[in-house]
């Protein structure tokens, strides 16, 4: 029996804020933490900007004068984060309510795990001059490293300062460990803490990550992976598009669900920990991939973290806190380009290593083909063998997710091919101004043509037609709405930082006065295309007519001479393709794929369709209704998040809205009938 | 009948259908000529509807053969039946309630434009024409048939059967849900179609209906055909006796007939 692990408290500090909520806020608002360095001695560094904690005040972080005398700044942030998490989890308050024996027991069953770098702050910048000298020649950079970086850096300081002091300050006497492991110390601390809870060594444990050093070989590795900005190996500040370093720390108070319930601890999130193999995976796969994998596993670290991507980034920021290379710019370098074309099929992940410019298209095509295959398999079982669809698709969900887990070993496949990022939207994944206008005009022409065609059709058989003024009003309104939407999309400009980076890479990059229009994002274009195609399929083609007839009365459809089984199977094939498309967009937006992407979406999908007027009984519903339903669900989801409601409240509101929306619809239908 | 030179339009020979261990139809043989109405009567569960479902392709027979114009055919599904110009008006009407009348009328045989798009206007036009003949008051072409009255729904089902120039028409209780005026309409329609040369199987509970319309009457009892008699050679009482006793009048004893004739 696996014990579920919940998060009862969080703590964090970085250049972006002093708690998870404000850091997440910064991410959501796109606020940068990069500023001119104030508190560090930058003598000899080619760097003047970093994500430094602004107006660093040791006493404000840790109220213990004695500590300030012999503990470094990097350790103080770790202590601060750990203290905050312990405080949020209510350790002290709970202990005070206990008898002396129970209190001692509580302390003994509370562990602490810290990913620590050992405070070798200066050493990390030792190789900066080498970077400049190497002029992007990695071989030269690598060969010079050995002479420059002091291999004894770890011995210069005590690596377990944070472990000791947080433990003492919060009376955590249980199992503990200090991990100093490259840039994934924070991640490993979380893993070790989870493992301790899983094996029953502790009931709760604090997991802290701080001061995780980037050693030169890590930088080389990140560079290979395409995690570092720009296509040359260089620090951020050289032309503001290299690698950025920052400081910070983060902590989780983790606890078994049983223990948390017993002491009525506040639960702010839960982990998705289910496998003991992950630590092994860790050593075999790269640092960055594992960081991503773990970070995605830890859900709802912050109560307001809502989308998978922001969630992942928020945790990643916490996970690799002090002086970890933040990527201030594009994650893809020339070396890493085209190395990974990664598509997550929900539910199958494909990673293809192909060194061609069109590798991502191949990956996409294989993902879509896999969608066809899975849809066909499920459709065959449902239509020809006759197992209820709910059972087959639910079983399929478990099977294919499990397969993805086996294939990926639980690790996140990241990063994606840069070209694949087009499907993620954002300024670089949008049509741009002129093409957006062109698309808008195409839509307007289509509206007019459709109106003319419909009128001509009805004229052909002398059916009653709308008065001509009504047709014109409808056409004008349709076109106006379309063009207004394009105008709004075009009034979003490229952010200056992005423009600068493009200018740095290509001096001929043209920016018109007033800024570069973003335009309509590609995912929206794909949504429009899918909506139009599906509407045609549903209302203008035999297939759609048959699907509705089968939904209304399967026997009548069969007696009418429709090959109902083949039609049902085709429906599932179509669902497989649509699922593959949405999975591709999702993985593009996450810039990676993991086996739990899209978990829980099945319920949102049902809710969206039902809100959009689709009938559970079958035979009723429209494509545009389902799209609107999805918009309602997600507008609600994001909207509630932005006005600061916590996730449980969001869930409650979403559930109420679902019932009310469908209730209105039901009453309305009843009245009409 | 079998001695005639031209083969009958339909001949169903020794048809058997079993559901599990129950013989719904057992070695039943019926024939139908062009321009003839054959009434199929019997009590509940006698196998009338099942026998007709075999001919309409809804249920393939376990054994026996079907001949159309003297040639053996295989009817494995409703599509096969429609290719052979066999149309059926089911007791349940077999309408998809959620779509409109034209969509139901053309279900499975939609009119499409050259580009393969549904030509809804052409289908609506055709529906208007055929419904104008069957039920001139019908105006609700754009609403789901769920919202139509029983008679209107029946009209849609009948329109579907007659629109596609059927040669063989199976009508399973076509007037069960109708009022007197509509029933009269359907009777006129049956006579008209017969005069146009269609062969019609009429399944009905209403013995008067059958006597009024049918040329010959086949009586079914527990899955078997008791006898097939010409309308002019028999009486309502004889047919009733066969329905109830499952024996031709000649074979029934006086004691058995007594309570019936009274």
| A287-330 confidence digits (pLDDT tens) | 333 333 333 333 333 222 233 333 333 333 333 322 222 222 22
Q: In terms of CA atoms, which chain B residue is nearest residue A617?
A: B98
Nearest to A324 by CA among A224, A130, A138, A186: A186
pLDDT more than 70, % of chain A: 73
How many beta-carbon contacts under 8 Å exist across A and B? 91
pLDDT more than 90, % of chain A: 21
Residue A385 has pLDDT above 90, yes or no: yes
Of B96, B110, B125, the CB nearest to A553: B96
pLDDT for residue A317:
31
Residue A646 has pLDDT above 50, yes or no: yes
Q: Is residue A459 exposed (0-12), middle (13-18) or buried (19+ Cβ within 10 Å)?
A: exposed
Q: Is residue A615 exposed (0-12), middle (13-18) or buried (19+ Cβ within 10 Å)?
A: middle
pLDDT for residue A286:
31
Of A555, A560, A619, the CB nearest to B108: A560
- Angle formed at CA A630 by CA A629 and CA A636, multiple of 5 degrees: 90
Average model confidence (pLDDT) across chain A: 76
Answer yes or no: pTM beyond 0.80.
no
Residue A279 has pLDDT above 50, yes or no: no
Query: CATH 3.40.47.10: which residues of chain A?
Result: 5-327
Residue A670: its chain B contacts at CB < 8 A?
Answer: none
| Residues B107, A558: C-beta atoms closer than 8 Å | no
Distance of residue A462 Cα from the nearest chain B Cα, in angstroms: 9
pLDDT for residue A85:
93
Tokens 């009274």 -> residue: B262
pLDDT for residue A45:
63
| Residues B97, A555: C-beta atoms closer than 8 Å | no
pLDDT digits (tens, 9 = 90+) for A387-418: 998 899 999 999 998 888 888 877 777 667 77
pLDDT for residue A473:
92
pLDDT for residue A650:
82
- Angle formed at CA A319 by CA A270 and CA A145, multiple of 5 degrees: 155
Q: What is the CA radius of gyration of chain B?
A: 19
Of A541, A555, A563, the CB nearest to B118: A541
Q: In terms of CA atoms, which chain A residue is nearest residue B76?
A: A561
Average pLDDT over residues A521-526: 90
Q: Which is more confidently placed, A673 or B107?
A: B107
Of A463, A561, A618, the CB nearest to B108: A561
Residue A138 has pLDDT above 60, yes or no: yes
Residue B41 has pLDDT above 60, yes or no: yes
User: Is the Cβ of A540 closer than 8 Å to some Cβ of chain B?
Assistant: yes
Distance of residue B9 Cα from the nearest chain A Cα, in angstroms: 22
Report d(CA A473, CA A480) in Å as an integer: 10
pLDDT for residue A309:
31
Report d(CA A546, CA A557) in Å as an integer: 7
pLDDT digits (tens, 9 = 90+) for A206-229: 999 887 666 666 666 666 666 665
Report d(CA A193, CA A202) in Å as an integer: 9
pLDDT for residue B253:
67
pLDDT for residue B67:
92
pLDDT for residue A52:
82
- Residue A112 pLDDT level (bands cut at 50, 70, 90): very high
Among A18-27, A372-381, A572-581, the minimum mean pLDDT is found in A18-27
pLDDT digits (tens, 9 = 90+) for A570-617: 999 999 999 999 988 888 888 777 777 888 788 888 888 888 888 877
B152 and B104 in contact (C-beta within 8 Å)? no
Q: In terms of CA atoms, which chain A residue is nearest residue B53?
A: A559
pLDDT for residue A111:
93
Task: Pick from B107, B146, B163 the residue to mutate for testing the A interface (most A CBs within 10 Å).
Answer: B107
Residue A121 has pLDDT above 50, yes or no: no
pLDDT for residue A659:
87
| Residues B90, A553: C-beta atoms closer than 8 Å | no
Residue A350 has pLDDT above 60, yes or no: no
Q: How far is CA A274 from CA A254, A268, A603, in A?
A: 14, 19, 22
Q: How far is CA A138 from CA A220, A231, A234, A599, in A?
A: 8, 12, 11, 40
Residue A128 has pLDDT above 70, yes or no: no
C-alpha dihedral over A152, A154, A158, A164, to 10 degrees?
-160
Report d(CA A112, CA A537) in Å as an integer: 58
Of A458, A561, A619, the CB nearest to B98: A619
pLDDT for residue A295:
38
Q: In terms of CA atoms, which chain B residue is nearest residue A544?
A: B118
DSSP string, A481-524: HHHHHHHHHHTSBPPHHHHHHHHHH-TT----TT--B--SBHHH
Distance of residue B66 Cα from the nearest chain A Cα, in angstroms: 19
B35 and B200 in contact (C-beta within 8 Å)? no
| Residues B98, A563: C-beta atoms closer than 8 Å | no
pLDDT digits (tens, 9 = 90+) for B185-195: 888 888 988 99
Average pLDDT over residues B42-60: 88
- Which two structure tokens, joined as six digits, stand for A367? 């993902």
Q: In terms of CA atoms, which chain B residue is nearest residue A670?
A: B147
pLDDT digits (tens, 9 = 90+) for A537-562: 999 999 999 999 999 999 999 988 89
CATH number for domain A5-327, candidates 3.30.565.10, 3.40.50.300, 2.60.120.1310, 3.40.47.10 = 3.40.47.10
Residue B88: its chain A contacts at CB < 8 A?
Answer: 559
Residue B86 has pLDDT above 80, yes or no: yes
- Residue A44 pLDDT level (bands cut at 50, 70, 90): low
Of B98, B125, B128, the CB nearest to A551: B98
Average pLDDT over residues A513-522: 82
pLDDT for residue A607:
86
Q: Is residue A155 exposed (0-12), middle (13-18) or buried (19+ Cβ within 10 Å)?
A: exposed
Residue B94: its chain A contacts at CB < 8 A?
Answer: 553, 555-556, 559-560
Report d(CA A528, CA A405) in Å as an integer: 32
Of A556, A561, A673, the CB nearest to B109: A561
pLDDT for residue A282:
29
pLDDT for residue A145:
65
Residue B98: its chain A contacts at CB < 8 A?
Answer: 548-549, 551-553, 618-620
- Which two structure tokens, joined as six digits, stand for A561? 């001479």
Q: In terms of CA atoms, which chain B residue is nearest residue A537?
A: B117
- Adjacent-strand bridge partners of A14: A17, A248
A91 and A107 in contact (C-beta within 8 Å)? no
pLDDT for residue A5:
87
Task: Pick from B99, B140, B146 the residue to mutate for testing the A interface (most A CBs within 10 Å).
Answer: B99
- Residue A125 pLDDT level (bands cut at 50, 70, 90): low
Respond yes or no on whether ipTM tops 0.90. Answer: no
Q: At what angle do helices A542-552 and A564-590 cross, to 10 degrees?
A: 110
Domains and CATH numbers, chain B: 10-261 (3.40.50.300)
| Residues B110, A461: C-beta atoms closer than 8 Å | no
Among A371-380, A495-504, B60-69, the minimum mean pLDDT is found in A495-504
Residue A548: its chain B contacts at CB < 8 A?
Answer: 96, 98-99
Among A343-352, B62-71, B178-187, the minimum mean pLDDT is found in A343-352
The listed range with the strongest mean pLDDT (A149-158, A233-242, A345-354, B132-141) is B132-141
User: Is the Cβ of A555 closer than 8 Å to some Cβ of chain B?
Assistant: yes
pLDDT for residue A341:
26
């Amino acid at each position: 029996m696996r014990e579920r692990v919940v998060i009862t408290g969080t703590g964090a500090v970085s250049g972006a804020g002093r708690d998870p909520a404000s850091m997440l806020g910064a991410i959501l608002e796109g606020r940068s933490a990069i500023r001119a360095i104030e508190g560090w001695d930058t003598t000899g560094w080619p760097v003047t900007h970093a994500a430094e904690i602004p107006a660093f005040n040791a006493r404000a972080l840790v109220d213990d004068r004695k500590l300030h005398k012999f503990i470094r700044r990097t350790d103080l942030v770790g202590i601060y984060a750990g203290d905050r998490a312990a405080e949020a989890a209510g350790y002290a308050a709970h202990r005070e309510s206990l008898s002396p024996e129970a209190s001692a027991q509580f302390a003994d069953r509370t562990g602490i795990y810290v990913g620590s770098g050992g405070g070798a702050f200066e050493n990390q910048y030792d190789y900066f001059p080498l970077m400049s000298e190497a002029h992007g020649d990695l071989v030269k950079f690598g060969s010079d490293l050995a002479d420059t970086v002091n291999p004894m850096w770890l011995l210069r300081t005590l690596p377990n300062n944070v472990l000791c002091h947080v433990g003492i300050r919060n009376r955590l006497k249980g199992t503990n460990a200090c991990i100093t492991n490259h840039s994934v110390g924070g991640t490993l601390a979380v893993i070790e803490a989870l493992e301790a809870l899983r094996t029953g060594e502790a009931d709760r444990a604090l997991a802290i990550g701080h001061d995780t050093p980037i050693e030169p070989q890590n930088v080389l590795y990140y560079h290979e992976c395409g995690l570092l900005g720009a296509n040359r190996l260089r620090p951020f500040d050289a032309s503001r598009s290299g690698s950025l370093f920052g400081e910070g720390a983060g902590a989780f108070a983790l606890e078994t669900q049983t223990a948390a319930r017993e002491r009525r601890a506040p639960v702010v999130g839960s982990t998705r920990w289910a496998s003991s193999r992950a630590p092994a995976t860790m050593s075999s796969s790269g640092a960055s991939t594992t960081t991503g994998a773990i970070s995605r596993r830890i859900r709802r670290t912050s109560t307001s973290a809502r989308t998978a991507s922001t969630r992942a980034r928020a945790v990643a920021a916490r996970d690799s806190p002090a002086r970890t290379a933040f990527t201030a710019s594009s994650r893809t370098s020339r070396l890493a380009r085209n190395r990974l074309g990664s598509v997550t099929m929900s539910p199958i992940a494909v990673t293809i290593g192909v060194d061609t410019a069109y590798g991502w298209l191949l990956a996409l095509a294989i993902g879509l083909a896999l969608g066809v295959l899975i849809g066909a398999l499920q459709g065959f079982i449902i239509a020809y063998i006759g197992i209820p669809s709910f059972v087959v698709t639910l079983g399929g969900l478990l099977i294919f997710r499990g397969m993805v887990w086996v294939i990926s070993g639980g690790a996140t496949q990241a990063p994606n091919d840069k070209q694949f990022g087009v499907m993620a939207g954002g300024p670089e994944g949008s049509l741009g101004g002129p093409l957006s206008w062109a698309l808008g005009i195409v839509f307007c022409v289509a509206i007019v043509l459709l109106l003319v065609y419909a009128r001509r059709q009805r004229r052909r058989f002398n059916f009653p037609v709308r008065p001509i003024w009504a047709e014109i009003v409808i056409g004008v309104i349709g076109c106006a709405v379309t063009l207004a939407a394009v105008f709004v999309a075009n009034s979003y400009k490229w952010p200056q930082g992005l423009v600068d980076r493009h200018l740095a890479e290509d001096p001929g990059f043209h920016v018109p006065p007033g800024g570069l229009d973003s335009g309509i994002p590609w995912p929206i274009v794909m949504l429009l295309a899918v909506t139009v195609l599906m509407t045609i399929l549903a209302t203008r083609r035999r297939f759609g007519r048959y699907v509705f007839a089968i939904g209304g009365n399967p026997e009548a459809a069969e007696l009418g001479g429709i090959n109902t089984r083949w039609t049902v199977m085709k429906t599932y094939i179509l669902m497989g393709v649509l699922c593959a498309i949405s999975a591709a967009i999702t993985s593009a937006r996450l810039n990676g794929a993991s086996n739990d992407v899209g978990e829980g979406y099945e319920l949102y999908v049902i809710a969206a369709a039902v809100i959009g007027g689709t009938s559970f009984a079958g035979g009723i519903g429209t494509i545009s209704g389902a799209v609107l339903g999805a918009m309602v669900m997600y507008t609600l989801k994001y909207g509630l998040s932005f006005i600061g409601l916590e996730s449980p409240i969001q869930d409650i509101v979403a559930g109420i809205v679902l019932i009310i929306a469908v209730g209105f619809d039901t009453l309305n239908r009843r009245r009409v009938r | 009948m079998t001695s005639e030179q031209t083969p009958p339009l339909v001949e169903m020979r020794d048809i058997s259908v079993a559901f599990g261990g129950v013989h719904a139809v057992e070695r039943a043989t019926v024939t139908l000529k062009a321009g003839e109405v054959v009434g199929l009567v019997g009590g509940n569960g006698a196998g009338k509807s099942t026998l007709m479902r075999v001919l309409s392709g809804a249920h393939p027979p376990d054994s026996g053969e079907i001949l159309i114009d003297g040639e053996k055919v295989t009817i494995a599904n409703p599509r096969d039946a429609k290719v052979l110009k066999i149309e059926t008006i089911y007791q349940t009407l077999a309408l998809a309630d959620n779509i409109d009348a034209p969509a139901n009328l053309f279900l499975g045989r939609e009119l499409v434009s050259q580009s393969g798009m549904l030509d809804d206007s052409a289908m609506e036009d055709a529906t208007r024409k055929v419904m104008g003949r069957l039920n001139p008051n019908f105006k609700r072409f754009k609403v789901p048939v769920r919202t139509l009255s029983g008679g209107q729904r029946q009209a849609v089902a009948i329109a579907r059967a007659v629109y596609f120039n059927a040669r063989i028409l199976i009508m399973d209780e076509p007037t069960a849900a109708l009022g007197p005026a509509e029933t009269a309409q359907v009777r006129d329609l049956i006579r008209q179609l017969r005069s146009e040369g269609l062969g019609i199987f009429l399944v009905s509970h209403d013995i008067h209906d059958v006597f009024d319309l049918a040329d010959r009457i086949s009586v079914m009892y527990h899955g078997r055909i008791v006898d097939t008699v010409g309308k002019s050679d028999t009486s309502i009482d004889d047919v009733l006796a066969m329905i109830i006793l499952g024996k031709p009048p000649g074979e029934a004893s006086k004691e058995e007939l007594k309570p019936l004739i009274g």
